[in-house]
Structure 1
Amino acid sequence: MPHFVMDCSQDIFVSHDEAFIIEQLFLQACATNLFDERDIKVRINSFEKYSVGNKREPFIHVFASIMQGRTTEQKAMLSQQVVSKLVTLFPNVPNIAMNISDFEMATYCNRTMV
């Protein structure tokens, strides 16, 4: 944890390949100093069929799930940095966004905890 899952239209890979995008998301998450880099997980889901505002326009949306405890300001800074980087990498993609959800420590469980 944290998890960064990017949903996107398949056509964005014309500009950059998946490995490069994953690396860039990882580097942006590291640059915030909010996470231990060994814990950062990044994945991409691409879609061939989709609709954005009832149109077929390229899109990128990053869903971040992080452990509770970061301030609203820290989460806003994280979103700003990631979206800014994506806008730089994909200047012709009109729909780029990100949202952050908190894991609750009380309900979180992973393999090492059982």
Structure 2
Amino acid sequence: MPHIIIEHASNLPVPTTDLVTCVHQATERTNLFDNSTIKTRSQSFEHFKVQAGKSGFVHVQAHLIAGRSEEQKQLLSETILSALKTLLDSNWLLSVHPYDLIPEVYRKN
């Protein structure tokens, strides 16, 4: 845990592998997780609309087992957002949102 899901516009100006690596390494830098448990993946969207003057978007969802403090979630959000800003310019809409998974209903094998 966590599951880091990157949703992004298909017209990225960088290779998707660079985006995934950037976000994954930023998550590792927080020292909030056992690095061997971080799972990062991306999903591209060909059809999207964003505000005028913007090239596209990157939205990162961080699915976490409930129990992290607000400060820890803020650290994760800020670290990932800062990393995205080094990869993409201000023409891109960037956002990060941690979500708590409910441990009583979350299942995995």
Question: What TM-score results when the alignment is normalised by the length of structure 1?
Answer: 0.87
Q: Are residues 1:6 and 2:6 paired?
A: yes
Letter in 2 for 1:40: I
Deviation at 1:87, TM superposition (A): 1.0
**Which ranges in structure 2 are unaligned for 5 or more consecutive residues?**
none
**Which ranges in structure 1 are unaligned for 5 or more consecutive residues?**
none
Q: Distance in 2 between matches of 1:74 and 1:23?
A: 21
Deviation at 1:109, TM superposition (A): 1.4
Letter in 2 for 1:7: E
Indicate if the aligned counterparts of 1:22 and 1:44 stay in contact, CA closer than 8 A.
Answer: yes
Between the two proteins, the alignment pairs up a number of residues equal to: 109
Cα distance per residue 1:3-62 (max 9 Å; x no partner): 1111111111x3x21112111111111111111111111111111110124887311110
Percent identity between the aligned chains?
A: 29
Q: CA RMSD in A?
A: 1.7
Cα distance per residue 1:45-97 (max 9 Å; x no partner): 11111012488731111011011111001101110110111011101433100
Indicate if the aligned counterparts of 1:61 and 1:96 stay in contact, CA closer than 8 A.
Answer: yes
* Paired position in structure 2 for 1:101: 99
Indicate if the aligned counterparts of 1:50 and 1:56 stay in contact, CA closer than 8 A.
Answer: no
Q: Distance in 1 between matches of 2:19 and 2:107?
A: 28
Q: Which has the larger radius of gyration?
A: 1
Indicate if the aligned counterparts of 1:51 and 1:57 stay in contact, CA closer than 8 A.
Answer: no
* Paired position in structure 1 for 2:56: 58
Range moving further from structure 2, 28-37 or 17-26:
17-26
| Greater share of residues in helix | 1
Question: What TM-score results when the alignment is normalised by the length of structure 2?
Answer: 0.90
